[in-house]
Amino acid sequence: MTERISRIAGVGSYLPARILTNAEMSSMVDTSDEWIRERTGIRQRHIAGEGETTSDLAEAASRKALEHAGLDVADIDLIVMATTTPDFTFPSTATVLQARLGITQGAAFDVQAVCTGFVYAMSIADNFIARGQANKALVVGAETMSRIVDWTDRTTCVLFGDGAGAVVLSGEEKTGADDAGVMASYLRSDGRYKDLLHVDGGPSATQSVGHLRMVGNQVFRHAVTNIAESMTTIAGRAGVDIADVDWFVPHQANQRILEGVARKLSIPTEKVISTVADHGNTSAASVPLALDRAIQDGRIKRGDLLLMEALGGGFTWGAALARY
């Protein structure tokens, strides 16, 4: 079989209409706009409306990604959905999305890697395409984090928001080293760190949904170290110099994490796509949200070398390198 590559054919994203500002947050918990902006860079977050579900957000982002790719739902033969906030315990939100899009062919499933979910989903879809098991994959990161945050806990509730992003990967025959497409991915996890970032409920353990709990300052330290490690590892494996990467498209958890990683790897901050100010931490949705923003505003152009990365609960972390 000829070697295949997964080209990023289209990207789309969606944020719910309702905006919750830092000023509003400070009327809900003991916090301030100044504290949130200084410690995180976040100015506002979007919150799903009553009855608005993860699959609603995912559908809106997916339809935009399909339109951007110039493809039809009939072309899609794989949906990999990264989410920590599924519509239901089962069926997967990917199959809910599949039905809503009117797709009856191929396979659809969810991936649970929390904030690293999109990087995991992209890697999985890329492997399916490389093996010839899928040809056109919809890779989605969609979250309604507002449903699992504890709105009385100021150490977490100010950080998270809702949103969705989607990428259409198209299987193409590889012709050379500079082909557009996913070049490498690197996935890691270490379950010993569960207690630093987790949800204190679930169907089997508590028969409830639970709330997000985080020891923020410890997660922060791990994030900078592990993200930097995943970026140097993937660049080394792909034979790429970090300095040759055009755009860094990170998970959007905290502006200070983005800056810490950039400092550590001597990356100019102008090369780092940051959207955290506008939507806070949207978990698995944040990488495709940032990717879509920078494509829409013209910063990311065809042929550019992109490095995506994330760290999340588990811990899970990883990176993906792609030529757009």
Cite the active site residues.
115, 251, 281
Stretch that binds ligand UT7, among 65-73, 211-219, 261-269, 289-297 (CB under 6 A): 211-219
Which of 18, 154, 174, 299 is close enough to bind ligand UT7 by CB under 6 A? 154
State the Cα–Cα distance between residues 299 and 297, nearest whole angstrom.
6
Q: Tell me: does residue 113 bind ligand UT7 (CB under 6 A).
A: no
* CA dist., res. 96 & res. 56, Å (int): 10
Question: How many chain residues bind ligand UT7 (CB under 6 A)?
Answer: 20
- The single-letter DSSP state of residue 281 is B
Interface with ligand UT7 (CB under 6 A), residue from 91, 201, 210, 216: 216
C-alpha closest to that of 150 among 141, 142, 158, 140: 158
Residues 181 and 323: their CA atoms lie apart, in Å, by: 5
266 is a site residue for ligand UT7 (CB under 6 A) = no
Of 118-126, 134-142, 153-161, 301-309, the window that binds ligand UT7 (rule: CB under 6 A) is 153-161
**If binding is defined by CB under 6 A, does position 212 make contact with ligand UT7?**
no
155 scored as a contact of ligand UT7 (CB under 6 A): yes
Q: Does 115 bind ligand UT7 (CB under 6 A)?
A: yes
Residues 6 or more apart whose Cβ sits within 8 Å of residue 161: 20, 44, 45, 46, 47, 145, 146, 279, 280, 281, 282
Q: Which stretch binds ligand UT7 (CB under 6 A): 98-106, 151-159, 179-187, 301-309?
A: 151-159
- Helix orientation angle between 93-101 and 54-69, rounded to the nearest 10 degrees: 50
Alpha helices in 117-190 (DSSP H): 117-130, 154-157
Supply the minimum distance, in Å, between the C-beta of residue 187 and ligand UT7.
16
CB 62 within 8 A of CB 68: no
- Going by C-alpha positions, the residue among 270, 261, 144 that lies closest to residue 209 is 144
254 contributes a contact to ligand UT7 by CB under 6 A: yes
* Binding map of ligand UT7 across residues 35-74, x = CB under 6 A, - = no contact: x---xx----------------------------------
Query: In the complex with ligand UT7, which residue's Cβ is closer, 152 or 208?
Result: 152
Q: Choose between 72 and 195: whose C-beta lies nearer to ligand UT7.
A: 195
Q: 83 — phi, psi (to 5°)? A: -160, 150
Asked if omega into 315 is within 30° of 0 (cis), the reply is yes
In the complex, the smallest distance separating the C-beta of residue 13 from ligand UT7, rounded to whole angstroms, is 18
Amino acid at 311: L
Residue 320's nearest CA partner among 136, 171, 113, 122 is: 122
Shortest distance (Å) from residue 259 CB to ligand UT7: 12
Position 112 contacts ligand UT7 (CB under 6 A): no
Point out which span in 32-40, 60-68, 86-94, 201-209 binds ligand UT7 (CB under 6 A). 32-40
Q: What are phi and psi of 55, to 5 degrees?
A: -70, -30
Q: Which residues bind to ligand UT7, rule: CB under 6 A?
A: 31, 35, 39-40, 115, 154-155, 158-159, 216-217, 219-220, 223, 253-254, 257, 281, 311-312
